[in-house]
Structure 1
């Protein structure tokens, strides 16, 4: 590797791995996903993901396989279950850098695009958490960059087999991470690009369309194998839950339990914060390059990557800002390309005696200073700011209280536990507590023995005949340990 590549690798490793395990599971996604991975490790069932003993088929299990494997290798710690996301982010950054160099872009632009991706606030936060979105972004990035490289090689009548194989690997990663969405995210970009190219060139080329179609079939083989094994365990109902309920149902709004339903303009309102701190460069770049897209297929591809995916996620009923993560590599490229334009404009003013001239003469130092301040800020946040959130958001004190009661001979059960509570208790206690769903089950369990205790999440304090033994707060949710 050239010198810029090792520097980018070092800085990205610092950003993504520094202090990665110095805080507990936080938010709603981390406890749920970590709990499912722990349960997969405990029951050794690598086909059917389960949460609190029940099949959890919202997504295919690639991230869970990696998290469970990390638990088996390194122990059940928050660091272990965050490694897959952090490595996915690292691979995405280095992949973007190396592929831009293959596309013939200058080393500086490729490096700046990589560091911009690594320092986008939303991207940085997501690759340092437990979940499947960093893997989805890696799969989509690998598929789309490989597609564009193969497309260029075909246009130059060069062999593209290696690029198509990488494309298939990207499709496999994306679909094993997010199912149908993992196919749609790169698919909509490829369709938009090939259609735009056909309209610009005023001709239709079947081989250009057949390449990604055939490579996609190859990339779907791992997902099909898992679906077949899942069908053997859970039948057609399990397949329908993965492919219809949790994919199409989230898109058209028929799966009401999924939540996250927002109006169509939800992401438009999020644009001011979507690609911070580089969002201004992204949007100005889109405007600046708009007239050159027909003659510059490279810029056309990354522009359509951003716009086509944005339109697709906006049309979906279920919306979360993390769904924009697969757009960030394209945003980083557009921001880096426009930054190069501004940098060149500044160079033309180096002889001026004005403030602009002074800035122009020190433009390299200013750019290095901005990036350095950002990196130091992220590292400081990882070391001090994020762990402070444990005081309010960590489930560790709650699970430690459960373990203390168990050590004193009390049997603890959960009453109508939500996903985060169920996941956190499995992850931290390494056991499945009794799951009580109805008031009758709660009453019977507590009446069976004076040592029985139930954990209840409630907005108000439970009333008699329940006796509150202890109250704890996680986030904004009150939890009560109750007995008869």
Structure 2
């Protein structure tokens, strides 16, 4: 491994793994996914993901398999269930560096793209969290970089890398994992066809055939799922939770935002390197016809942005698969600025001072940015546990159970349902209706129900204890 590659690897390890288990599960996604992975481990059922005892078929189970495997190997800790995402981020950064070098880009540009990707705030936070989005980004990155390299020099290695990327992306997010690289490939090949004024059928057939190969793992899991849950279960994965989210027909999914949602998020999408990304897109706009390399990464950004904008369900985390392309555009433009500074070395102005010390200035900026992330991991995120952690809530459940009381969850949301399974390592009884709630509480004076609400429950319910996670209040009640 070369010196730049080694330094990039070590910095990425520091950014993604330092203090990875220093805080508890926070937010709905971490609690939900960790809970599903814990139940998969407890039930030893690797086909049907379950949340709080019920089938949860919003997404294929690659991230859950990895998280459940980590629980089995290292124990049920937040650190264990974050490992898969952290490794996905590390692999994405190193793959981006390696492929840029294969594209013929200088070491400095490839290294810069890698470190800019690793230090994008949204990317860093998602890579260090429990979920499937880091794996989706890895799969999309593998597929698209292999596709572009295959356009230049087709090889068995590129074909396998492409198919592996499709497999990872689709096993992480289903149809979306196919659409995210697919829309870029379609747009890029269409642009090439128009610019070259001829259709190269082989360029279209190659990714299509390799995509079929990459879909084999997903098809195997769907076949097993069909044996367990029938056509309804398969349809829920492929149609309800994928097509339904895009069209808006799956109302329960939520996250519905106006079409301009992502436009409003652009000022924070690629922080702290936003200005380099957007100025780079503007600067390179006239050279795209002659530079297929820049064209490809521009299309990567724009095609995915348009597709996500057209979707009904919107979240900022969905922009994560665009970040490698953004990092490349930012790195290339940073290289342009760095070269321009050389012309001002002799200038007596402040620009000349910067030009003469340009390497020191760049290293100082990177040092401050890189250093801020371990500091946040060490101090800021654990501090947020005071308000966002589900651990105190589940510890109270454990305390009640240890004293001989039975605890059930009334209309448990995904957050508390997942967190309770993860931390207690058991599936508590669930109560869905008011009648079930009162029947459970009347059955024994030692029975306690946990319920969420905007207001304190009214009589005849008696509140034993009130706790808050974020803005949500939870009540331990009895009769």
- Counterpart of 2:464 (choices 451, 460, 469) is 469
Aligned match of 1:18: 18
Aligned match of 2:221: 226
- Counterpart of 1:193 (choices 188, 192, 195) is 188
Aligned residue pair count: 479
Aligned match of 1:108: 108
- Counterpart of 1:375 (choices 370, 375, 379) is 370
- Counterpart of 1:259 (choices 249, 254, 262) is 254
Displacement of 1:270: 0.3
Q: How big is each residue's C-alpha offset from its partner over 1:366-385, in whole Å with a ceiling of 9 and x where there is no partner? A: 00110000011111111001
1:340-379 mapped onto 2 (5 Å cutoff): 340-379=335-374
SS of match in other structure, 1:60 = coil
Aligned match of 2:73: 73
Q: Distance in 1 between matches of 2:76 and 2:227?
A: 30
Aligned match of 1:423: 418
Displacement of 1:47: 0.2
Q: Distance in 1 between matches of 2:35 and 2:165?
A: 27
Q: Distance in 1 between matches of 2:462 and 2:194?
A: 72
Aligned match of 1:135: 135
Aligned match of 2:160: 165
Q: Distance in 2 between matches of 1:225 and 1:347?
A: 57
Q: Distance in 2 between matches of 1:377 and 1:27?
A: 22
- Counterpart of 1:440 (choices 393, 411, 435) is 435
SS of match in other structure, 2:466 = strand
Q: Distance in 2 between matches of 1:72 and 1:90?
A: 22
Displacement of 1:192: 0.5
Q: Distance in 1 between matches of 2:156 and 2:148?
A: 13
In structure 2, list runs of 5 or more residues that go unmatched.
none
SS of match in other structure, 2:460 = coil
Displacement of 1:347: 0.8
Q: Distance in 1 between matches of 2:130 and 2:157?
A: 31
SS of match in other structure, 1:414 = strand
Displacement of 1:353: 1.6
Q: Distance in 1 between matches of 2:157 and 2:371?
A: 38
Aligned match of 2:452: 457
Aligned match of 1:157: none
Q: Distance in 1 between matches of 2:138 and 2:86?
A: 11
Aligned match of 2:47: 47
- Counterpart of 1:213 (choices 202, 205, 208) is 208
Displacement of 1:464: 1.3
Aligned match of 2:121: 121
SS of match in other structure, 2:463 = strand
Displacement of 1:63: 0.1
Q: How big is each residue's C-alpha offset from its partner over 1:421-460, in whole Å with a ceiling of 9 and x where there is no partner? A: 0000000000110000001101110000111000010111
SS of match in other structure, 1:478 = strand
Q: Distance in 2 between matches of 1:438 and 1:308?
A: 45
Displacement of 1:277: 0.5
2:170 aligned with 1:175: yes
2:394 aligned with 1:394: no
Aligned match of 1:293: 288
Q: Distance in 2 between matches of 1:113 and 1:413?
A: 50
1:233-312 mapped onto 2 (5 Å cutoff): 233-312=228-307
In structure 1, list runs of 5 or more residues that go unmatched.
155-159
SS of match in other structure, 1:28 = helix
SS of match in other structure, 1:471 = strand
Q: Distance in 1 between matches of 2:100 and 2:310?
A: 30
Cα-Cα RMSD: 0.5
2:89 aligned with 1:94: no
SS of match in other structure, 1:412 = strand
Q: Distance in 2 between matches of 1:398 and 1:78?
A: 16
Q: How big is each residue's C-alpha offset from its partner over 1:175-230, in whole Å with a ceiling of 9 and x where there is no partner? A: 00000000000000000000100100000010010100000000000000000000
Q: Distance in 2 between matches of 1:120 and 1:28?
A: 22
Q: Distance in 2 between matches of 1:370 and 1:470?
A: 49
SS of match in other structure, 1:131 = coil
